[in-house]
C-alpha cells in the first residue's frame, strides 16, 4: 500500500500555500480527514500501522482529538484493544475525558495522522502517562518532520513526506504573494 497514493486518490494531498498548526507555512497540506472519511482507506491505514505492533503487548491506542480519533479507533480495532483520545485543555495541554478508562500500568500506542513538530502527540503521550499508563511506542500515517520529531520511544510512520515548512517571516510563498489558506 502506498499511503501517499491514498491521500491523492481521496483528494487529501493539497497543493498551494497553507498556514500549518505549527504556525509555519507550506506549499503542501495533508487533509487527513478527507482520507479517513473513507472507511476502507481508514481501515487500510489502521491495519498497516497495527501490523507493526501486533506482537507488542498493548492495552489501548490513543490519539489527539480531533485528527487522531478515527485513527486511534481503526488501529485499536485491528489490534483488538481499546481506543482512546486526548483533548486539549484550557492551558495548552491535553487530558483524557472522564469515562475513558486508563488503569495504572497499562501499555499504549500513541498515534497521529501527520507529525510535523510532534507537539500534539507528545501532549497526548503525557496525558496518558499522567493517568498512570506506560507508553510503548508512537506511530503516524505521515512523518513530515524530516526525522526531527522525537518522542523518547520507538516511532514509526507509514510514509515520510519531504515538504518544506517555512517560518512565516521568511516564507517564499508569501514573497510571491501566493494567497495563504488557513487549514
Q: Does the domain spanning 3-182 belong to CATH 3.30.930.10?
A: no
CB 132 within 8 A of CB 87: no
**Which residues, 6+ apart, have CB-to-CB distance to 145 below 8 Å?**
115, 116, 117, 118
- Report pLDDT digits (tens) over 143-169: 998 888 999 999 999 999 988 889 999
Number of residues that make up the chain = 183
pTM here is: 0.92
Rounded percentage of the chain residues whose pLDDT exceeds 70? 100
For residues 154 and 55, what is the distance between their CA atoms, to the nearest angstrom? 14
Residue 135 is predicted with a pLDDT of: 98
Residue with cell 486511534: 72
Q: Which three cell numbers stand for residue 39?
A: 472507511
Helix (H, G, I), strand (E, B) or coil at 115: strand
- Report pLDDT digits (tens) over 13-69: 999 999 987 788 999 999 999 999 999 999 999 999 999 999 999 999 999 998 899
Domain layout of the chain by residue ranges: 3-182
Q: Which helix (H) or strand (E) holds 49?
A: helix 39-51
Residue 44's alpha-carbon distances to 1, 65, 75, 77, 113, in angstroms, are 8, 20, 9, 12, 13
Which residues make beta-bridge pairs with 122?
none
- 111-120 average pLDDT score: 92
CB 73 within 8 A of CB 38: no
CB 114 within 8 A of CB 30: yes
Q: Which three cell numbers stand for residue 114?
A: 501527520
Amino acid at each position: 500500500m502506498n499511503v501517499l497514493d491514498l491521500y491523492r486518490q481521496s483528494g487529501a494531498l493539497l497543493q498551494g500555500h497553507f498556514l500549518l498548526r505549527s504556525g509555519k507555512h507550506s506549499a503542501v497540506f495533508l487533509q487527513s480527514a478527507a482520507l479517513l472519511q473513507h472507511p476502507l482507506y481508514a481501515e487500510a491505514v489502521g491495519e498497516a500501522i497495527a501490523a507493526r505492533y501486533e506482537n507488542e503487548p498493548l492495552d489501548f491506542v490513543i490519539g489527539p482529538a480531533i485528527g487522531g480519533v478515527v485513527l486511534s479507533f481503526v488501529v485499536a480495532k485491528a489490534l483488538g484493544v481499546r481506543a482512546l483520545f486526548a483533548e486539549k485543555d484550557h492551558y495548552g495541554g491535553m487530558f483524557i475525558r472522564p469515562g475513558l478508562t486508563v488503569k495504572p500500568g497499562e501499555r499504549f500506542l500513541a498515534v497521529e495522522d501527520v507529525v510535523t513538530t510532534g507537539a500534539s502527540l507528545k501532549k497526548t503521550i503525557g496525558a496518558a502517562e499522567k493517568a498512570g499508563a506506560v507508553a510503548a511506542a508512537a506511530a503516524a500515517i505521515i512523518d513530515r518532520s524530516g526525522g526531527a520529531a522525537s518522542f523518547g520511544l520507538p516511532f514509526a510512520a507509514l510514509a515520510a513526506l519531504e515538504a518544506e515548512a517555512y517560518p512565516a517571516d521568511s516564507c517564499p510563498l508569501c514573497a510571491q504573494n501566493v494567497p495563504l489558506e488557513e487549514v
